[in-house]
Amino acid sequence: MRTVVLAFAAGIGWLQWQPALPSAFQLAVSAMIGIPLLATLRLPRWRVLGAVAAFLLGIAWAGWLAGERLAESLPTSLEGRDIEVVGVVAGLPQRYDNGWRFDFDIEQAPAALPARVSLAWYRGLRREEDDDNHVAPEIRAGERWRLKVRLKRPHGNLNPHGFDYEAWLFERGIRATGYVRPGDGNVGLDSLVARPAYVVERLRQLARERFARVLGDPQQGGAIYGGVLTALAIGDQRAIDAELWRVFGRTGTTHLMSISGLHVTMVAGLGWWLASWLWRRSARLPLWLPAQKAAAAAGFLVALLYCLLSGFAVPAQRTLYMLGVVAVALWSGRSVSGSRVLASALLLVLLLDPWAVLAAGFWLSFGAVGLLFYIGGGRLAGGHWLAIWLRAQWAITLGMIPALLALFQQFSLVSPLANAVAIPVVSLVVAPLALVGALPLTDPLLWLSHAVLAALMGLLQWLAVSDWAVWQQHAPPAWAVLAGTAGVAWLLLPRGFPARWLGLVALLPLFLVPPERPPAGEASVVVLDVGQGLAVHVQTAGHDLLFDSGPAFSPDANSGNRIIVPYLRANGVRRLDAMVVSHADRDHSGGARSVAEELPVGRLLTSLPDGHDLLALPLVQQPCRDGAGWEWDGVRFDLIHPAAGDAERYRKSNDLSCVLRVTAAGRSALLTSDIEARAEAALLARHGERLAAEVLLVPHHGSRTSSSPDFVAAVGARETIFPVGYRNRFGHPKAEVVARYEGTRQWRSDRDGALSVRLGAAGVTIMAERAERRRYWHGS
């Protein structure tokens, strides 16, 4: 069974990595071949054919469900149009400073629309137009509303080693995003649609409101860790601030601050124990049904309720299905091995949600439990129970290193100690008390849970503050991850097994194979996909420069901490030799502070006005000036704008943008930021033919105020890059500007994702991230 389930999972995984779905005919053929081959499972000599059958059926099953979901795509003709819909608030609504965001199940619409969409309801028409005259009403799960909405197809930024937002939406069944248009036509129709899923979500929202009411706002003297208790009780992690996530990440305890398998198991265990104790108190009930069977059923039902309340994430699903298999085995009087229980849970998870393989939690959850079974069987036996517990924590930490480096490029060095304390405290005390605290009249239990958690947080914060608490590095190549996984399996073989040290050798490539850098004399220029903004990473053989830092999305989230820093770390960049902030606009400077706080920066080059908050950073600072330049590893960097005195000459900060020319192997890339026609004319007057470049970052995102015909002709680029956001409100790039670059090869970050340019002896090459990493759901 285990081999068959793994083969089925492999088939599903293979399909999720395809750039396009197989045709309906191909899926049908896979099913027609796979189903008859299942009969070979009863023939020991032909079981390999059974695995082939499972692989083919995995492809057919996942492909059929994917085709059904793709069929719900929003027609492009309906993007950006006002549409009146009737539907129900699904999921747990999230409140923000400027309104709400929630999933919405559409029941009625004038045209064919996806069944589920994600909506924002701002105080104003758009986020940037919010004002106190437009107040979004309170939104509650399960309410039916008539709304006027404006939708667009799912779209997200796509960068090397970056988060795939479109995959996340696709896995959740969300096939369009948008916002509610203000007006009198937005009317609540029903206070609660009495369907089980909506009732559960309403209960989750009531529990969240109770936690906020009892514990208070941390910014106004309330419980500091109330957001963690909310996450432990109902799975809503949004109230946990960035600083707490940093502590959890550095101590390797992130898995405990959500509904993990451990929590579900502990709650189920408490339900089992209580039911068994009560059942045995009766003289008649054990005669009707053995206490062990009644306790197993009760434990499973308690786990089911907890999973529903928690949002039913993959780790919770895995644990629930494992508990279900154990309960069925107990009721039927059969014994079942741990590996078969895990295989059964894996099969159920993938049958119900074949996109679960796209989530990091899937790999970490099943990997950790599989590792526990692998190192079990007495391998850790011997000695005091505390020593056994610590050895188990160390083995799990070691075993998860390849996955953690592949997914997050870091692992905690203090994790064994932190988890040895945190797991029993959170799973046995904090989480159960928080769950009971969601009920009325249990305020003291909720505060007791917070007190215990606060004591634990003191230890975790002490462990996290050390520089050596966490190991961070580049993203290892796929082959190194596979070798490391094999090395871990070899290293954790039973004592006495010969040459276990060879496992350490297999782990070395994870740490010792760095990402490729350009050779001396060549340069890599990566235009990151940050939406409507700009961030460019320039790399030579031994140096790194960041040109602009993209937009800020909210007070806590920006391109720096969400996109640029993860990208740089995954590529092995530990230090920036220089950072250029071309001008003050937020779509170019919004992530600079986050970058400077996370990575050492050699110097800051900028044209920011006096008093700008970024000038307060403790960095060596230098103004951008025409004529400044330097050379790194045979690559020339020249600042060609602004000139001395331009600050008094230009009113617009756009025309003061730093302009950088990068020249390698006789080829140039011109990074122009947001300059407009006046600055272009000045560049023509000062530099003329020297503006020529093979690659041009189109000025001001393709605005009609830039790219004057004379400037376009003087540069004479063969490759032009438009850094623009999908369906941005400015309409960039303008059609007349695009026409001026006719005859060049045109690239757009909204269509192509991040663009990796290589200036080298072989010429100029450009690779689009969406082409290299395309999956069948992209652009659907």
* Residues 445 and 581 both lie in one domain: no
Q: For 20-42, write each residue's pLDDT tens digit.
A: 999 999 999 999 998 988 877 77
* Residues 583 and 704 both lie in one domain: yes
Residue 125, classed as helix, strand or coil, is: coil
455 located within any domain: yes
* Residues 660 and 544 both lie in one domain: yes
* Residues 11 and 105 both lie in one domain: no
Mean pLDDT in residue range 368-388 = 72
CB-based contact 541:517 (threshold 8 Å): yes
* Residues 19 and 50 both lie in one domain: yes
Q: pLDDT-derived band of residue 377, with 50, 70 and 90 as boundaries?
A: low
Domain's final residue, options 70, 86, 108: 70
CATH number of the domain bearing residue 545: 3.60.15.10
Q: Over the range 580-619, which residues count as b (16 or more CB within 10 Å of their CB) and which as e?
A: bbbbbbebbbbbbbbbbeebebeebbbbbeeeeebeeeeb
Residue 124 has a pLDDT of: 57
Q: For 743-777, write each residue's pLDDT tens digit.
A: 999 999 999 999 999 999 999 999 999 999 999 99
Domain around 55: 2-70
Q: For 253-283, write each residue's pLDDT tens digit.
A: 998 887 777 788 888 888 899 999 998 888 8
Residue 69 has a pLDDT of: 95
Report the C-alpha gap between 170 and 74 in whole angstroms.
13
Q: pLDDT-derived band of residue 196, with 50, 70 and 90 as boundaries?
A: very high
Residue 130 has a pLDDT of: 45
Give the global pTM. Answer: 0.91
371 located within any domain: yes
Residue 379 has a pLDDT of: 59
Q: Which residue, 454, 47, 45, 408, is CA-closest to 218?
A: 454
Mean pLDDT in residue range 563-583 = 97
Mean pLDDT in residue range 107-131 = 79
* Residues 297 and 365 both lie in one domain: yes
* Residues 611 and 731 both lie in one domain: yes
Mean pLDDT in residue range 325-334 = 85
CATH number of the domain bearing residue 169: 2.40.50
* Residues 325 and 307 both lie in one domain: yes
26 located within any domain: yes
Q: For 514-546, write each residue's pLDDT tens digit.
A: 999 999 999 999 999 999 999 999 999 999 999
238 located within any domain: yes
CB atoms within 10 A of CB 496: 6
* Residues 624 and 683 both lie in one domain: yes
Q: How many domains, the chain?
A: 6
Helix residue ranges, H only, 149-290: 165-171, 196-215, 226-234, 242-251, 261-281, 285-288
The better pLDDT of the pair 11, 1 is held by 11
CA distances from 276 to 263, 540, 605 (A): 20, 67, 70
Q: For 592-645, write each residue's pLDDT tens digit.
A: 999 999 999 999 999 999 899 999 999 999 999 999 999 999 999 999 999 988
Q: Over the range 328-356, which residues count as b (16 or more CB within 10 Å of their CB) and which as e?
A: ebbeeeeeeebbebbbbbbbbbbeebbbb
Domain's final residue, options 70, 97, 116: 70
541 located within any domain: yes
Strand order in 578-581's β-sheet?
621-623, 604-606, 578-581, 544-547, 536-539, 523-527, 755-760, 763-768
Q: pLDDT-derived band of residue 383, with 50, 70 and 90 as boundaries?
A: low
* Residues 133 and 229 both lie in one domain: no
Percent of the chain beyond pLDDT 70?
Answer: 97
750 located within any domain: yes
**185 pLDDT exceeds 60?**
yes
412 located within any domain: no
Report the C-alpha gap between 70 and 74 in whole angstroms.
9
Q: pLDDT-derived band of residue 211, with 50, 70 and 90 as boundaries?
A: very high
Report the C-alpha gap between 396 and 413 in whole angstroms.
12
Report the C-alpha gap between 544 and 579 in whole angstroms.
9
392 located within any domain: no
* Residues 265 and 294 both lie in one domain: yes
* Residues 552 and 685 both lie in one domain: yes
